[in-house]
Structure 1
Amino acid sequence: MSTLIAAENLGHAYHDEWLFKNLTLGIQTGQRVALVGINGAGKSTLLKLLAERFSPLEGKIVKNKSVKIGFLDQEPSFPENYSISDFIFSLENKQQQLIKEYEELIEDPNPDEKTLNRLYEELSEHNAWEYEHEIKTILSRMGINHLQQKIATLSGGQKKRLALAKLLIEDPEIYVLDEPTNHLDIDTIEWLEKLLTSGNKTILLVTHDRYFLDNVCNTIVELDRGKIYNYNGNYAYFLEKKSEREAADESTFQKNKNLLKKELEWMRRMPAARTTKSQSRIDAFYDLEEKTKQRTDNQKVTLNVKMSRQGNKILELDHIGQSFDGKNIINDFSYTFKRADRIGLAGKNGTGKSTLLNIITGYLQPEKGKVSTGDTTVYGYYKQGGLAFNEKERVIDIVKSDAEYIKMADGQTISASQLLTLFLFPPKKQHGMVEKLSGGEKKRLHLMKVLMQNPNFLILDEPTNDLDIDTLNVLEEFLENFPGVLILVSHDRYLLDKMSEQLFIMEGNGAVAIYNGNYSEYRISLDIPKEKPEQKQKQTTASPAPAAAVKKLSYKEQRELEELENRIAAVETELGTLNASLLKTDTSNYLKLQELTKTIETLNAELEEKTERWLILSEA
C-alpha cells in the first residue's frame, strides 16, 4: 500500500494553547481510519489540516498534487445564492453538466422535445446513464429532491446532507469526514456504511457512532494529550489495547511520582550539596517534574445529580393529532407513561419526531386530543439544536445564572464551580469565554444545564452529536441508573439498543407504532416474513422474535434465498440487454428512449432491493 497523505512534525495551537506538537501520521491507500479522542483534543483541527483547509503553525502536510481530497465539515459552508443544482454539479465535469441539464429539464411539466432528444444522445455518447442513476440514488437517499431550491432556505441538517451528497458523487481519492452520521436517519446510515466499504476507498473520519465505526473502519488512531497512538483493528480491538496502554502508563506514572517525591526531599534537604557534581541529578529532577506535570490522572465526567420526586401520574397522551400544511404528522395517538419507561423514538427524517416531543413537553398544543401532565413531572429536554449561548459570556456565569449551588444524588450540595469540575471543565475553562470551547464541550455544557434541573422525565434528542465516546460511556452509565422516564431520539444504534426497552416508531402519514423491544430486535422482526400482512395494525405491541430465530434459515427462507439468486441473475442479464439497446436506439425516437430509461431505473431499484435482502439471508 502506498501512502496517499502524511503529516510530518505537525503542530497547531488555538487561543495560545497547543493542541499538539511534533505529530506525525500517514494514511495509506485503502485504509479506513477513525480518529478518536476526547472533546477539545484537536480532532476536527487535525482533519482540517489534513484536508488542507488551512496551514499548520508547525510542520507540513505531504501529498501528491494529483490526489483529490473530499472534506465533509461539521458545519459546511456554501457559495452565496447557490441552488442545490449549482452546488451539486461540477462545471469541470461534462457528464455532471449533462445530467444537471437533463434533471432540470424533466422537472419542467412541458419539456422541450428537441432539447430532450439532444440530451438523450449526448448522455448516451458520454456513457452517463449509469452515472445519472448513481447520482439520483445518492440525492434520494439524502432526501434531496428539488434541485432548484436555494441552499439558503435549507435547515442545518439538510445542508450537512447536501455537502455529504456532493462528496459521495465526486468520489475523491481520500474521504475526510467529520461526524458524517449527524443528521442522518438510521436507514441512511446503514446504506452509507455499505457505500463506504465498497471498492477500495481511503477514509479518515471522526464519529461517535460505535456501530458505524466498527462496521466501516479498519484502523483506529487515538489523539491523546497531543500524541498519536495507532491501532490496526476495529473499535473493540482498540479498547482492549488502549486499556493495556493506560495500565502501563499508570504504572510508569506512579513510579515517577514516587521517585519525584524522593528527589524533592533530596532537593530540599541538601541545598549546600548543589555543586557541579550533583548538577546532573538536579537536571534529572526538573526533567522528571516536567514529565509528571504533563500527565494528569485519568478523569471522567461525573453525572450523579438528584432526581425530583415522581408521583403516580406522569403523563397521558389521549388521542392526540397534529398536522402541518395539510400533511398528517400524528394521527390519533394515545399512551400513558409509566415509571421507569425507557422509550426510543425512531423514524425517518421529517416523520414528526420533534413534533411529538414538543407536544409531550408542552411547547406545542396539539390540534386534537388532550395532554395531561402529572403535578410532580419535571422535564429535562436536551434539544438537538443545543442552547444559544452568549459566546462572550464566561462559562461559570452561564451555570450560575441557573443556580449557585446544586443538589447531588447523594444529598450533598456543591457549588457551580465544583459541578463544572465534575463535567471536566477545569478552573481555567470555567473562567474563560464560551467562544473558546469546542463544539463537543458546548454540548457537554448544554447537557449539564439540563441535568441541573433535577428532571424525572428526561428527553434526549440526538445527545450523541459532537460528544466524545468517553463522555457517551459516562452518559450511558448515568442513564442505566436513572430511575425516571427516558425518551431517547438517536441515530446511534448502539445507544438505542442499550438504553431503550420500547420504541415509538414514526411511520409517516401520522402513524405511530409501538414496539416492545430495542432497535436491533425491531430490525430483525422486519426481516421475518409475515404470514398475514393484513393483521398489521397502526399501533402494535407484539413482542419481538428472539434473535436466535434468524440464525438458521427456515425452509421458506431457504426457498426465498434460492429464488433471489435466480432473480438477481435474471435482472442483471436483462439490464445488460437494455443498456445495449439504449445505445443502439435512434436518438430521434424519444418515446422509445424514455421507455427504456424508465425500465432500466425500475430494474436497478429492484436489483438493489433484492441484493440487500439476499445479503441479510445469506449472512443469517
Structure 2
Amino acid sequence: MPPLVVGERIAQSFPSGTVLSDVTIGVGDGDRIGVVGRNGDGKSTLLRILAKRLEPDSGRVTWRRDLRVGVVEQDDVLDPGLTAIGSVVGDRPEHEWASDPAVRDVLSGLMGDVDHHAEVGTLSGGQRRRVALARTLVRRWDLLILDEPTNHLDLEGVTWLADHVRRRSEALLVVTHDRWFLDEVCTLTWEVHDARVDAYEGGYAAYVLQRVERDRQAAASEERRQNLMRKELAWLRRGAPARTSKPKFRIDAANELIEREPPVRDSVSLSKLATARLGKDVVDILDVSVSYDDRPVLRDVEWRIGPGDRVGILGPNGAGKSTLLGLVTGEVTATSGRVKRGKTVKISALTQHLADLDAVADDRVSEVVGRRRTSYETEGKEMTPGQLLERLGFTSAQLSTPVRDLSGGQKRRLQLMLILLDEPNVLILDEPTNDMDTDMLAAIEDLLDTWPGTLLVVSHDRYLLERVTDHQFAVLDSHLRHLPGGVDEYLRLRAAQPAAAAEAPAKPAASVSQRGGQNERQLKKDVIRMERQIERLTERIADLDRAMVDASSQPSRLMELDAERRPLAEELEATEEAWLEASAELES
C-alpha cells in the first residue's frame, strides 16, 4: 500500500534562515512518529507543510487519494461566539453525540473542568486549547497531526492523552517537548536539525541511543553535547523496566556506553556540599494548616525539608501546591502550626511568569549578565556567565540581543541563569519546562545535576520530575502525602478519588492497627515475600543481560535469551507495583 503522505525535496526558508533543504520524507499506515529538534529548527513548519497548510518554497507534498487528515496546531483559532460543546461536536444533536462512547471519552478526558455551554471567548487559554484538541479527537482520520498537544494539560491529562492516542488506529505525527509522551506513543522519531530530517526507530529513549551512536561514529566535534546525551542515555537505561524494554537497539552498544558513564548525580558529594552551605536545618513545616475565608486549603502538614533534598510536588490544579510553596518561601502565613527556617537559607524561585525580566527588557543580554557575578562554580570548576549562557543554549550573537526580543524559551533560560548567579541554596522551579525543546531540557537537567542545594520542583512534565528529583510528594484532599511509588502511585491515587468520593457517608481511613493484627501481619509477610521475589528476578534479569552481551554476535542465541528475559521483566514490573501498593497500605 502506498504511503499516506510523501514530501519530496521540500525546501523552506524564512528571513531568519533556511529551516528545510531538499527533505524527502513519508508517513505510512500505522506510523507513530514523534518530531524533535531545537526550537526554531523547523518542526512546526514541517508539520504544516505535510498537512498542506503551508506551501513550501520548492518540492511537493502528495497525499493518498481521499486522505482524511486531522490537524491541531499551536494557534488553532476557534469561533469565540460558539459554545465549548458546539465547537467540539458541531451541529450533531445531543442524543447522538451523548450516546457515542468515543465522544464521551474525549469530553471527560479533556473538558472535565470546562462549562460545556460557556462561550469559547470566555474560556481561559488552556481551556480553549483543550477544546481545540477535543474538536479533532472526537472524529476519525487516516492521519492525525498534533503540534504540542500536551501544552496546558496537567499530568493526568497527558497520561489520558497518551492512553487515548495509543488506542486510536490512525497514523500519528506529533511535535512535543514531553519526552515521556514521546516514549509512550511513538515508534519512530524524526529529528529536524540543520535544515534536514533524520529518522530513528523507536521513541525518545531509542532516539537518544541512536543519536549518541551517530555522533560517536562520525567523530563529531561537539564533545560536550555528546557527553550530555550519554548521561541522558545512562539515566534512561537505568530506569524502570517499562522504559528500557521498549527501544529496539543493540544491547551491547548501550551497555558499553553506560559502563563508561558515571551516575547522573554524585548524591554523596552533593549532600556534603548542601550541608556545608545550608547547615542541618532548611525548612520545617510542623503541623501546619492554611485556610482562606474559612475554607481549608492545607491541613495538618508535617514536612521537614533537609539539605540537598530533591523533591517533586504533584497535585491537581487548585489543590494547594502554590500555597505549600508559599509556606516555604514565607509568602504564605500559616493559620495554625509553625514554619521554621534555617538561619542560612536563601530561597529563589523560577516562576511561570517572566515579569521579573520587565525591568531589563530594553537591556542587552550581555549588559544584564555583566551586572551580576563574574563566575559560577559547577562540578568544582568556575564558569564565566558567558560560558553558562553557552551551556544554556545562547550563541555569542544573542548576547547583544535586547531581552525583549528573546523568545519565550530564551527568556526562561536567562531567568534561570540570573537565579543561579545569585547563588541560592534552596531553588524552587514552578513549571520550568514551558517553551523548552528536548535538547534544552536535557541541558538544564544536566546543570541541575551538579547544583548542590535543596531543589523543589512543581511540574506536569513526568520525565523531568523523575529525572531531577529523588522523592515525590502530592497535595491531595488538603493533605501532603509522600509517594514511595512516585508518579505511578499518584496517578493510582487520583484515579481512586472519584470512587472514594462517591461513597457515603464518608469515613476516616482506618489505621493499620484498626484493621486488625491479623491483616497487618499478612501484609508484612506479603511485603517480605515480594521483596525476595524482586531480588531474585532482578538478579536473574541481570544474568540474562550479561549473557546477551556475550552473545551479541549470535542472533539465534540473542533471540532465545530475549524470549526468556521478556516475561521475567513483566513479572518484575507487576511484583514491584504490588509491593508499592502493599507498602503504601502498611504506611497508611
The answer to whether the superposition gives a TM-score over 0.5 is yes
Q: CA deviation at 1:12?
A: 2.7
Could you say if the C-alpha distance between residues 16 and 310 of structure 1 is closer, same or farther in structure 2, counting changes exceeding 3 Å?
A: same
Instruction: Report what 2:300 is aligned to.
Output: 332
Quickly say closer, same or farther: Cα 1:9–1:438, change in 2 above 3 A.
farther
Q: Show CA shifts across 1:252-286 (max 9, x none).
A: 999xxxxxxxxxxxxxxxxxxxxxxxxxxxxxxxx
Partner of 1:465: 434
Aligned-pair distance for 1:457?
Answer: 0.9
Instruction: Show the counterpart of 1:13.
Output: 13
For the 8 Å contact 1:40–1:437, the answer to whether it is kept is no
Contact 2:378–2:451 at 8 Å: present in 1 too? no
Other-structure match for 2:264: none
> Which residue is equivalent to 1:351?
319
Change (3 A) 1:56 1:548: farther
Between 143-152 and 337-346, report the one with greater CA deviation. 143-152
1:322 to 290, 294, 306: 290
How many residues were matched structurally?
Answer: 468
- Offset of residue 229 of structure 1: 0.9
Mapping for residues 151-166 of structure 1, pairs under 5 Å? 151-166=120-135
- 1:197 partner SS: helix
Aligned partner of 1:78 in structure 2 is: 78
In structure 2, give the amino acid aligned to 1:534.
Answer: A
Question: What is the correspondence of 1:481-560 to structure 2 with a 5 Å cutoff?
Answer: 481-508=450-477, 510-516=478-484, 518-520=486-488, 534-535=510-511
More off after superposition, 396-405 vs 26-35 = 396-405
Q: Distance in 2 between matches of 1:175 and 1:550?
A: 46
Q: Is the 8 A contact 2:369 2:418 kept in 1?
A: no
Helix, strand or coil at the partner of 1:170: coil
1:381-460 aligned at under 5 Å gives the runs 381-386=349-354, 393=362, 396=365, 399-400=368-369, 403=372, 405-409=374-378, 415-434=384-403, 437-460=406-429
Amino acid at match of 1:38: R
- State the distance in 1 between where 2:201 and 2:364 align: 39
Task: State the TM-score, normalized to the length of structure 2.
Answer: 0.69
Shift of 1:32: 0.8
SS in 2 for 1:348: coil
Secondary structure of the structure 2 residue equivalent to 1:335 = strand
SS at match of 2:152: coil
Structure 1 residue matching 2:345: 3-state secondary structure: coil
Residue 341 of structure 2 corresponds to which residue in structure 1? 373
Say if 2:154 is the partner of 1:178: no
Question: Does the C-alpha gap of structure 1 residues 157 and 226 become closer, same or farther in structure 2, counting only changes over 3 Å?
Answer: same
1:246 is paired with a residue whose SS is helix
CA distance in 1, matches of 2:461, 2:210: 24
CA contact (8 A) 2:31 2:172 kept: yes
Distance, in Å, in 2 between the alignment partners of 1:30 and 1:89 is: 26
Do the aligned partners of 2:379 and 2:450 also contact (CA within 8 Å) in 1? no
Q: 1:516 to 1:87 in 2, by over 3 A?
A: same
Over 3 Å counting, the alpha-carbon distance change for 1:152 and 1:50 in structure 2 is same
Does the Cα contact within 8 Å between 2:41 and 2:192 map onto a contact in 1? yes
What stretches of structure 2 of length at least 5 have no aligned partner? 224-269, 497-507, 514-522, 535-572, 579-588
Q: Distance in 2 between matches of 1:9 and 1:547?
A: 60
* 1:550-606 Cα shifts (integer Å, max 9, x gaps): 989xxxxxxxxxxxxxxxxxxxxxxxxxxxxxxxxxxxxxxxxxxxxxxxxxxxxxx
Give 1:35 shift: 0.6
Report the counterpart of residue 46 of structure 1 in structure 2. 46
CA separation of 1:146 and 1:418: change in aligned 2, threshold 3 A: same
Give distance in 1, aligned partners of 2:289 and 2:528. 33
Question: In the alignment, residue 203 of structure 2 is paired with which amino acid?
Answer: N
Q: Which residue does the alignment assign to 1:309?
A: 277
Query: 1:25 aligned to 2:1?
Result: no
Whose relative contact order is higher, 1 or 2, with alpha carbons under 8 Å and at least 6 apart? 1
For 2:311 and 2:282, the matched residues in 1 are separated by 14
| DSSP-derived class of the 1:19 partner | strand
| 1:88 equivalent in structure 2 | 88
Q: Which one-letter code corresponds to 1:51 in the other structure?
A: A
Specify the alignment match of 2:233 in structure 1.
Answer: none
Residue 201 (structure 1) aligns with? 170
- What is the one-letter code of the residue matched to 1:249? A
Partner Cα separation in structure 2 for residue 351 and residue 78 of structure 1:
29
Q: Is the 8 A contact 2:70 2:143 kept in 1?
A: yes
Percent of aligned pairs with the same amino acid? 30
- Give the 3 Å change call, closer, same or farther, for CA 419–239 of structure 1 in structure 2: closer
Structure 1 residues 414 and 210: alpha-carbon distance in aligned structure 2, compared to 1, 3 A threshold: closer
User: Partner amino acid for 2:482?
Assistant: I
Supply the distance in 1 between the matched residues of 2:295 and 2:309 (Cα, whole angstroms).
30
Moved more, 70-79 or 174-183: 70-79
User: Could you give the per-residue CA deviations for residues 105-158 of structure 1, whole angstroms, max 9, x where no partner exists?
Assistant: xxxxxxxxxxxxxxxxxx3xxx65532x43333222223341122434433333
Q: Which residue of 2 aligns with 1:228?
A: 197
Shift of 1:383: 2.0
More deviation in 480-489 or 29-38? 480-489
Contact kept in structure 1, 2:89 and 2:97, CA below 8 Å: no
Find the aligned partners of 2:317 and 2:279 in 1 and give their Cα distance. 34
Secondary structure of 2:326's match? helix
1:157 to 1:386, Cα distance in 2 relative to 1, 3 A: farther
- The alpha-carbon deviation at position 220 of structure 1 amounts to 0.8
Task: Please give the secondary structure, in 1, of the residue aligned with 2:397.
Answer: helix
Greater Cα radius of gyration, structure 1 or 2 = 1
**Which residue is equivalent to 1:216?**
185
Residue identity in the other structure for 1:371: V
1:137 alignment counterpart:
105
- Indicate conservation of the 8 Å contact 1:521/1:547, yes or no: no
Q: Deviation digits for residues 310-335 of structure 1, max 9, x if unmatched? A: 23332222333334576532223232
* 8 Å contact kept, 1:501–1:517: no
Aligned 8 A contact 1:314 1:377 in 2: yes
CA distance in 2, matches of 1:53, 1:363: 47
Gaps of 5+ in 1: 100-122, 255-304, 553-614
Shift of 1:17: 1.6
